Amino acid sequence: MQRSTLDLWVGLFVMGGIGALLVLAMKVGNMSGGGGGETYALTANFDNIGGLKPRAPVKSAGVVVGRVTGISFDNDKFNARVTLNIEKTYTFPKDTSASILTSGLLGEQYIGLEGGGDTVNLGTGDKIKQTQSAVVLEKLIGQFLYSKAAEGGDKK
């Protein structure tokens, strides 16, 4: 009887550990069902989205206000169209700007919204017109090296 009770407690402990690992994996993978409230869809076009992925957070002032729900390529304008779902509890003016930012030096990419001063708010299906693309580290390094090479070539 004592052995089976011990086996039961060990089994419960192992199941609890597996459950905790599943919850942690969902949080890390941005798969948690958090929020769950009503949302409205916005779109924004970017010249370069870098490593932005669906389910990436949309933040304003450091607060997660929504998620990226879709990324597609616009064949007419040759840029990326990003669809955002914003929770209805958060409203943004029509002149809001969207930027693709990175958490830390090599962290995940997310979209940052910065509200403007317009009195009319964005609604379902509206487009964010002011966007700033992702900073591509390789392009910055290339520009730096090119400028240094040009500087060195001017010296006599």
Amino acid (1-letter code) at residue 5: T
- Hey, what's the torsion of the CAs at 30, 33, 34, 36, to 10 degrees? 130
Q: Model confidence over 111-129: pLDDT tens digits?
A: 999 998 888 989 898 999 9
The token pair that represents 21 in the structure block: 């690992």
Mean pLDDT of 34-62: 87
On the question of pLDDT at 147 being above 90, the answer is no
Q: Where are the domains of the chain?
A: 1-32, 39-142
* Residue 154: predicted pLDDT: 58
* Residue 34: predicted pLDDT: 53
* Residue 73: predicted pLDDT: 93
